[in-house]
């Protein structure tokens, strides 16, 4: 009766009540997602359950992860009023492989990988666990999740080895919190190296020195002078990686984001995932509906803007160098092309990386991005930020 599904949502800190659970059961009994005689797809049930159980879109991401953890692997359920077989709901433990077995797994090239996946999708007719060929879990096949392959396509599930070159699972990322203040004070101090103050706006600030001089010149008669407020006139375009491996760095990036918003009046920002392609977005809840073409961003801002990337640059090299290499869709141009266009348009640029600098040499994708950034990559540390701001201020 889906009681375990209800408890899974509660365990994921979702504010679901018994009343909502009963409403879901009533909707299923009323055949809201299709006649009982027809097969009800897991997608139909997903949309029904989310509509009934989630009252605020800010909880969509938690719901997606809880739903995926509970139903992953279930392709078709014909009757949701019956118990779901336990073996369909439990993901088998990651298969233990010896170093020799892992070394024996042969990497496929990009074209071979995609062609083979198409053939598997045409041939496979049922769920599969383990093994080295079919799309499933816990094996050494390059397709599926929960197993080990040095270069595969993750289809559903949660990543662990960070070796997938494409991920077939839609995720709802969350915007970084720009109100995060904890630990931002020192970051603000580092950012102040990038300052160019100017007087602008209406005369709404007391000019104390001018008032004293003017009053003295008037033989003691008070003459109050006002002047425009003094602002940091630096313009910043901030591009932030979100989702995936960046989930490990959310707290530090939020501190950085809060500090940047507090220090720079002329700031605009966009999100991307892993690498910049032909579009970006400003609101992760509406990233599929409100896309901003990268070409428009290149034309909108002039070269006076300082371009700052924030991202761990941890991804498959295909995502940077290969047409169609994005983990989320088939991009028409390689990410490297867009990175070069951005750095050519904005000559003052830097990349801030939250990954510890000690691991950079072991990540091929980080080395590639460093080259594309002309080695203007800095760690997300106080010294790294000071060095980056010093470079941007020249």
Q: pLDDT band at 353, cuts 50/70/90? A: very high
* Model confidence pLDDT, tens digit, residues 291-341: 999 999 999 999 999 999 999 999 999 999 999 989 888 899 999 999 999
> Three-state secondary structure along 234-248?
CEEEEEEECCHHHHH
Higher pLDDT, 80 or 155: 155
Q: Which of 94-103, 214-223, 362-371 has the lowest mean pLDDT?
A: 94-103
| Residue 212 and residue 151 share a domain | no
Position of tokens 């949309």? 47
Total number of domains in the chain: 4
Cα–Cα distance measured from residue 303 to residue 109, given in angstroms and rounded to the nearest whole number: 39
Q: Residue 210: pLDDT band by 50, 70, 90 thresholds?
A: confident
The residue from 34, 59, 89 where one domain ends is 89
Same domain assignment for residues 388 and 299: yes
- Helix (H), strand (E) at residue 325: none
Within-domain flag for 94? no
Helix, coil or strand: residue 19: helix
CATH number where 257 lies: 3.40.50
283, 353: one domain: yes
% of the chain at pLDDT higher than 90 = 30
Same domain, yes or no: 311 and 331:
yes
pLDDT at 319: 94
Q: How far apart are CA 261 and CA 99, in angstroms?
A: 47
Residue 313: the pLDDT is 96
Give me the pLDDT at residue 199, please: 46
What is this structure's pTM? 0.54
Domain match, 191 and 202 both:
no
Least confident of 13-27, 105-119, 147-161: 147-161
Residue 178 lies in a domain: no
Position 141 in a domain? yes
CA nearest to 385, candidates 358, 344, 353: 353
Cβ atoms within 10 Å, residue 279: 19
248 shares a domain with 332: yes
Q: Which of 9-13, 75-79, 205-209, 373-377 has the lowest mean pLDDT?
A: 75-79
* Residue 175 domain flag: no
- Running DSSP on this structure, what letter comes out for residue 58? G
In percent, the amount of the chain with pLDDT more than 70 equals: 65
User: Which of residues 44 and 123 earns the better pLDDT score?
Assistant: 44
Task: Using the predicted structure, report yes or no on whether residue 34 has a pLDDT greater than 50.
Answer: yes
Residue 17 covered by a domain: yes
Give residue 10's pLDDT. Answer: 86
| Per-residue confidence (pLDDT) for residue 89, from 0 to 100 | 40
What is the layout of strands, in order, in the sheet containing 377-379? 266-272, 235-241, 306-310, 349-353, 377-379
* 348: confidence class by pLDDT, cuts 50, 70, 90: very high
Domain, as residue range, for 250 = 185-196+233-392
pLDDT at 32: 83
Q: Which residue has the higher pLDDT, 120 or 70?
A: 70
Banded pLDDT at 265 (limits 50, 70, 90) = confident
User: Please, are residues 156 and 146 in contact by the beta-carbon 8 Å criterion?
Assistant: no
The predicted pLDDT at position 176 comes to 61
Q: What integer is the mean pLDDT of 34-61?
A: 74
């Amino acid at each position: 009766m889906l009681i375990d599904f209800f408890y899974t949502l509660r365990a994921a800190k979702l504010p679901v009540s018994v009343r909502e659970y009963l409403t879901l059961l009533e909707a299923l009994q009323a055949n809201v997602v299709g006649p009982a005689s027809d097969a009800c797809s897991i997608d139909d049930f997903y949309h029904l359950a989310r509509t009934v159980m989630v009252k605020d879109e800010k909880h969509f991401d938690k719901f997606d992860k809880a739903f995926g953890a509970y139903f992953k692997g279930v392709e078709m359920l014909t009757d949701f009023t019956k118990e779901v077989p336990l073996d369909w709901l439990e993901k088998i433990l990651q298969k233990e492989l010896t170093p020799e077995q892992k070394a024996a797994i042969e990497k496929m090239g990009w074209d071979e990988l995609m062609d083979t996946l198409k053939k598997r999708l045409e041939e496979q007719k049922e769920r599969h666990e383990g093994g080295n060929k079919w799309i499933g879990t816990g094996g050494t096949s390059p397709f599926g999740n929960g197993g080990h392959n040095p270069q595969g396509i993750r289809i559903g599930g949660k990543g662990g080895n960070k070796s997938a070159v494409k991920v077939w699972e839609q995720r709802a990322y969350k915007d970084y919190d720009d109100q995060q203040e904890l630990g931002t004070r020192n970051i603000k101090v580092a950012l102040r190296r990038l300052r160019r103050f100017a007087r602008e706006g209406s005369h709404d600030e007391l000019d104390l020195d001018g008032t004293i001089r003017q009053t003295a010149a008037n033989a003691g008669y008070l003459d109050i002078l006002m002047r425009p407020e003094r602002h940091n006139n630096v313009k910043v375009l901030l591009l932030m990686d979100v989702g995936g491996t960046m989930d490990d760095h959310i707290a530090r990036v939020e501190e950085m984001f809060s500090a940047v918003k507090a220090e720079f009046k002329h700031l605009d920002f966009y999100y991307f995932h892993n690498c910049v392609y032909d579009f970006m977005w400003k609101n992760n809840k509406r990233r599929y509906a409100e896309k901003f073409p990268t070409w428009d961003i290149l034309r909108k801002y002039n070269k006076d803007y300082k371009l700052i990337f924030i991202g761990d640059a941890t991804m498959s090299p295909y995502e940077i160098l290969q047409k169609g290499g994005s983990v989320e869709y088939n991009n028409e141009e390689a990410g490297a092309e867009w990175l070069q266009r951005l750095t050519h348009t904005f000559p003052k640029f830097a990349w801030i990386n939250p990954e510890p600098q000690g691991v950079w040499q072991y990540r091929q994708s980080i080395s590639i991005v460093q080259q594309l950034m002309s080695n203007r990559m800095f760690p997300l540390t106080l010294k790294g930020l000071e060095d980056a701001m010093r470079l941007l201020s020249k």
